[in-house]
Amino acid sequence: MSKTHTGADLVANALDQLGVEHVFAIVSIHNMPMLDAINRLGKTKIIDVRHEQAGTHAADGYARATGKLGVMIASTGPGTANTVTGLYEAQYGSSRVLVITGQAETAFYGKGLSYVHEAENQVAMLSSVCRRVESPRHVDQLGSSLCSVINDMYTGRPAPGALEIPIDIQYAPAQPIAIFLPDNDLFSPSEDQLLAVIKRLQASRKTVVVAGGGVISSGASDALLTLAEKLDLPVLTTVDGRGCIPETHRLCVGNYYNSAGIYNAIQDAEVTLAIGTKFAVGVDGQFAAQKPPGDLIQIDIDGNMVGRTHRASIGVIADAKLALEGIISQIDNVDANDSQFNDLVWQARDGVRTAMRARLGPDWPLVMDLIREKLPSDSVFVRDQTISAYNWGNQLFPVLQPRTSINPTSGAIGPGFPMSVGAAIATGKKSLVVHGDGGFMFHATELATCAQYKVPLIVCVFNDSGYGVLRWLQENRFGRINETDLGKVAFATMAESMGVPGVRVGSVSEFESALNQALTVDGPFLIDVDMECFAPMEISVMPKKKVEVDIKS
């Protein structure tokens, strides 16, 4: 066996230097050298997924749960095409996911000779969903190409990246490289910006905070909590900012900025301090008109986001943690928030939570409470886009720590399960995913991956025999449903066939028994929740949209 250090060894050593403990992969003739090199080095474990899209979503969940680099190794051509959906979600969610793929050997690349898995426009395809893509044409370019992608992914807003490596370069002798990550001190706020923010906060007695995913990705949770407690500030979060402070904390309003009750309660605010959020406008542009009340102070590491959705009175282009620490270190002689203003916010928060809980009916609040009671506070709680997520998982379920709440930021159906696989593998802790049956079918074959690696994951499939959210929207918008009924699948039986224990439940007591069993199992467990057997919940996803349509035709 040759001891020559190759391009494939360069990749394996780089992953080790980056602290990547797991990579997701599907083996192919176009990536075999890299997988062999990783196994020979013995520092990074390979997780063999069943589909490249699922593997890329798993790498995304891995990155979000830990803040580390998530990696998917794919084959050129069809394998890489399968990763695009996962990279799209990672781009939408500002997640560091690296796809490494093969390519036709350099002597044939771009010649149009139908080389197996030839993909001459693969770089352009990957560039549509990545901020940086590199494709070395000589082994001497491999190290700099990899470093360029990594440096981009770690500079400013986190983003996915991709590297394609022709197969001959993987086999070719290569010089080892050293990996150095960029210093985010480049994104320190200026003194002028800090002084402007501090001056405005000192003059305000009615300030609210809107905290997004940027708070969590920068590790700014402690700094945010310190500032909020110092000034007695209500903290609203986006769905991706959940857990930046414990949702049981007295100052946490939670993911309710887009709730009419909360939005009305904060209208007298003099300042909105927005940190690490894009102010996503949602389906039908429904939140575009919800201007943050008072003067908007917007802090974001990406200057393209500052003032994009709403005009900012003060814009600070900076890392969230560095900005908050700078504010805390200099702000003094500041009065706490007006207590009457805060009381109105607390009353609105409690009222909205009570109303949402009441709409769930008698059964679903108990299911939610059981999960929160029994799931450890540091376990990752993942949701797919499904009725249970919309109606209690994304708002009412208390999230207690950063990086323990994951959902598809893009609104896609299906990523939840593979993202939860990646999160559970990354943390090694029992995780739980709330899923609908329709979305679960996208990646159900990853149950075999869970069984193979004894992934500590509880899969809760809330089974209403169709695309429940879309069915509800169709009924409300068109007065009829179409293409949303899927038939009832025996998911517990499916899981058993792939080596994952599972059970179907039809009551709260049966769910509790299954959850207790799942928490004691060494590895994965599936709970198939037959929603027809539970008392119905009142669905409230988004406002009705008036559509002129002739339903008689």
Q: What is the pLDDT of residues 165-212, one digit of tens each?
A: 999 999 999 999 999 999 878 899 999 999 999 999 999 999 999 999
Whether the per-residue pLDDT at 238 is higher than 60: the answer is yes
How would you class 346 by CB atoms within 10 Å of its CB: exposed for 0-12, middle for 13-18, buried for 19 or more? Answer: middle
Which band of pLDDT confidence, cut at 50, 70 and 90, is reported for residue 551? very low
Q: How confident is the model at residue 282 (pLDDT cuts 50, 70, 90)?
A: low
Domain boundaries, the chain: 7-172, 186-350, 360-533
Q: How far apart are CA 539 and CA 480, in angstroms?
A: 16
- How far out from the chain centre does Cα 321 lie? 20
pLDDT tens, position by position, 295-314:
999 999 999 999 888 999 99
**Closest by CA position to 70, among listed 94, 105, 51:** 94
| CB contact at 8 A, 262 and 349 | yes
User: Which residues on neighbouring strands pair with residue 529, listed in sequence order?
Assistant: 462, 505
Residue 451 is predicted with a pLDDT of: 98
- The fold of the 7-172 domain, in CATH, is Rossmann fold (3.40.50)
Q: What is the CATH number of domain 186-350?
A: 3.40.50.1220
Per-residue confidence at 390, pLDDT binned at 50, 70, 90? confident
Over residues 424-431, the mean pLDDT reads 97
Percent of the chain with pLDDT over 90: 80
Query: pLDDT tens digit string along 480-511?
Result: 878 776 778 999 999 999 999 999 999 999 99
Return the pLDDT at 110. 75
Say whether pLDDT at 20 is over 70.
yes
Rounded CA gap, 15 and 23, in Å? 9
Q: What's the pLDDT tens digit per position in 101-156?
A: 998 788 767 767 667 677 788 999 999 999 999 999 999 999 999 999 999 999 99
The answer on pLDDT for 547 being more than 50 is no
Per DSSP, 203 falls in state: H
User: Which pLDDT score, from 0 to 100, does residue 549 have?
Assistant: 39
Q: Determine the Cα angle at 82 with ends 462 and 419, to 5°.
A: 40
d(CA 552, CA 548): 12
Q: Do domains 186-350 and 360-533 have the same CATH topology?
A: yes
The class that CATH gives domain 360-533 is alpha beta
The residues with which 275 forms a beta bridge, in sequence order, are 211, 299
Q: What is the predicted pLDDT for the residue at 115?
A: 72
**Following DSSP, what letter does each residue of 289-356 receive, concatenated?**
T-PPSSEEEEEES-TTTTTTSS--SEEEES-HHHHHHHHHHH--S-PPPPHHHHHHHHHHHHHHHHHH
